[in-house]
Amino acid sequence: MDFENMDYDYDQEDDDVFNRPLDLEEVEEPGPGGGFQLSDLWSKLTTNPMYLGAAALVVGLIFGLIFAWGVWPVQYVDAAPEHLHENFQLDYMRMVIDSYNLRQDTALADRRIAALGESGSAVLEKLIANPGDEASRQAIQDFVLLYKISAGTTTGTDGETAVSTLPVPGQADAEQTSASGSSSRTLLILGCAVSGVLLVAFGVFYFLRQRNSQPGGKTAAARAQEFSNQAMQTDYEAMGEVSPIAQWMTTYLIGDDLFDDSFSIDSLSGEFLGECGVGIADTIGVGEPKRVSAFEVWLFDKNDIQTVTKVLMSGHAMNDEGSYARLEAKGEPVLAVPGGIVELETKTLRMAVRVMDMDYGTGHLPENSFFQRVTLELAIWSLGS
């Protein structure tokens, strides 16, 4: 039975049924941002340059820090003594002292100490404060006496340097514990922490922005369900037809980019007969939310070898040769119009898909090219009954 081609003998009661307006509450349409769905995050990143740039910055910063400080750290070469780490400067000063005690070349010692720059005196004072073992303490004491340097000690009137204040081994304060600890590791941890905070902040911003972009924080799918619940099912019995064994309402609302509804078909006794459904067949344009230009409706019969599919198309897609040819490969193309009926039939099942209500979206795309809202009724009959 073909609803599209059959001439019905309508009476006034049938006209009342077909022309009965849908009692739908006004629900605010989704804005350009669509509904928030975590599964759309990757699509957001790949279609919005701002999101992609922010994500690339955070990821690049994390990997940059890991490679710069961990995998391929910078190698410093040919550094002057004044640029060495404090521990190495102390070792350098010990070598200067040992060399002077052996050679007693004051000019050479002056040049070597000067190579430490402004920190030369401070390094010597730290070494005097914590000389180390007895041999090192004696070497430093000899250096102070011979070189006649006052390094944190007092000088007597007779020109002799007081060295009795040099600490004996074991009395050195634990303050000398190396400050190096590992600055590079600290910087790496700090950098990763900052990057993590930025990434979390970006995620929170994205989440809140999407929630605030729609009324009541509801997703497009949730608001579409409200339309389906408000739609009134067709009374086929009042039209003089056998009542279907199953009847469903499904609504697509722009922003529901994952729209795909399917239903299990069971007999009145509970026996599984097949499945049916509707999903997105094609879109137009780029960006989000997706602009849906066609839907595919399908019917699966467990007693048949193939699934029957037809494509509900927008006016623009129907008249565009490229879109028509591409969608024709998925199933028979049918123009979607309010009140229109599409019939699918298998070996033991028949399905009538009625367009209960629909609106086209507006914008920079061609007129009547994508759907703002579509409510479909799927009714199933068993051909064996």
Strand partners, 296: 279, 311
Cβ 232 vs Cβ 21: under 8 Å:
no
Q: Rounded CA gap, 277 and 299, in Å? A: 7
Q: Token digits for 139? A: 């070497």
Beta-sheet pairing, 332-335 with 371-382: unpaired
pLDDT of residue 318: 95
Cβ 4 vs Cβ 343: under 8 Å:
yes
Cβ 99 vs Cβ 112: under 8 Å:
yes
User: What does pTM read for this prediction?
Assistant: 0.48
Mean pLDDT of the residues in the chain: 77
Q: Where are the domains of the chain?
A: 86-179, 219-382
pLDDT of residue 79: 76
pLDDT of residue 216: 54
pLDDT of residue 35: 45
Other CB atoms within 10 A of residue 84 CB: 18
Nearest to 297 by CA among 325, 329, 330, 265: 330
Give me the residues of the chain with pLDDT under 50, please.
1-8, 10, 17-18, 22, 24-36, 150-181
